[in-house]
Structure 1
Amino acid sequence: MSHTAHIPSHRKPRRSASKLAVRAGVAGGVLSTLAMAGTASASPSAEPVAETTLEMPVLNLDLGADVSTAVTVAAENTRLAAVEGELTAQEESARTGAAAEAKKAKEEAQKKADAEKADAEKAEKTAKEEAARKAEAERSSRSSSERTTLKSAAAPQGSGTVSAPATGSAAAIVNFARAQVGKAYVMGGTGPSSFDCSGLVQAAYRQAGISLPRMSQAQSSAGTSVSLSALQPGDILYWGSRGSAYHVAIYVGGGKFVGAQNPSTGIVERNLSYDKPTGAVRVL
């Protein structure tokens, strides 16, 4: 519908071609009648002519106005059609632009959503990896703790746990051994300034009035064999097989021993874990 369809027109309606033709015919007839009347009055007549009055039909001929009106209406219609066409083009352009903007916005929203999804997946993967690392660390720590607990519960060799300090002969042996810490290790030494491993054990037991063989092999066979989980201060520790040990030392309690280790370290006090013994014997 035209944008001006609702506007009433105040211009004269356009006359049809048939009406114009009828009017033209009537006018022509009237003019012919007038011409004939003029001719008759001009010729002489024997008889007087009566004077006749003719009434002229009133003609409302406004052909110029009708043409002007038609041209104006046509021009107005053309202008309105042009305006309507321009509006239609603008609407179409607006629709096209809106569609392009909507498409662009949709593409940007999709890119943003894809980026956010990728970031979320990456964060989730990182969180899972971190959780897996923590879980693995906890498992390792728990396993280590469980191993330590089981080791303590089973009192494995070298634990050296004691329930009471050394007393009596055991105290004499332990005190003497500790008093030699820092002295030199000399092969075949029996004191008082230097010792080898079996010379130190023999000298310590002498403080308790007990005579031991000189060599480590024989010392590892003395007394009664005891478990490393039930050691008491004064017990003799040995490395190697019982009866053929290559090294001996004295357990002093608290999971420690005193021994003449080698020329580089001399006589030292160490934890059992420093050099785990093979077995132990109890002479007291």
Structure 2
Amino acid sequence: MRRLLNMKIIESRKILSLLPSVITTSSFGIEKDYNYFSLRTKLEILAVISGMKHVYYDAIQLPERDSSNSSSLIDPEDESILTPKQIFGLDVLRQLESLAPRMQLLVKRTNFPRINFLEATIVPSHIVAAHSRTILFGRVIWLYLKHKTEDLIEKVLKGNLWLGQVLGYPSCCVRWSASIRTRFLEGGYNYFISTNNNAEEWDVLNYLHSFKEHYPGSEIIRAEVDSNILETWNKYPFVPHWACPSCLNGESDTTAFQNEKFSELALAISSKFHDDIINESKKVVQELRKYYNESTKSD
């Protein structure tokens, strides 16, 4: 068993050198490439190779097809209609697809799975269902080690399994993320209905599709989310998910346990890789806290 583990670590070191140097476009409001996100993404892929995770998921949003617009006939991957960030994101997906055989991973390309919400108390269930299916459009790739993982992916795509579950995130954190999305949805729905008395169902769906979780009062939820995200990176820099309040305040130790396992994997690959993740996470937290504080003052 130990010999097999050592072989996987050696293989992971080789794979690390093959992966693109910048592998994500995450910026969280600042137009700047943070090395932390690329390092953590690479660790997540290596966790799949080592058997710690079932699957790695990466996605890029693309221009949507609009039946009323002739430009909708253009291939959504046509670079002439894409932003530089979308072009870069697609290029990363293609690189990962081409590298999959060398990483001894299986690869599957799909559209976005539906977004998961908790049961809404304000929004009609059929509105929630329609919104969850249409809110995102783009390309997704899944990297996985075993053929049986394809069954899990299919369940996610059909809405029978939540994405966070197949990605191995703690159930408490998966539910917290869904609760946040539900609060944004209910707030946006309530705001639109209260200001548009004669709105048709199609108008509601169009608004929910375009409001980007911004409406009067949404900044309260946004501040809560931003705080949790930054505290996750500060306290648990190795995990790929956002920790819920229970994991951050110590009521649950699930995220702490996962952080320790990912930390051990990073250290086994190299002490530099491990330390770089910690140091880069501190840099991101410091800069984004400063950015958010300045944004709040300017508002």
* TM tier relative to shorter chain: under 0.3
Larger Rg computed on CA atoms: 1
TM-score by length of 2: 0.18
Higher relative contact order (CA 8 A, sep 6+): 2
TM-score by length of 1: 0.19
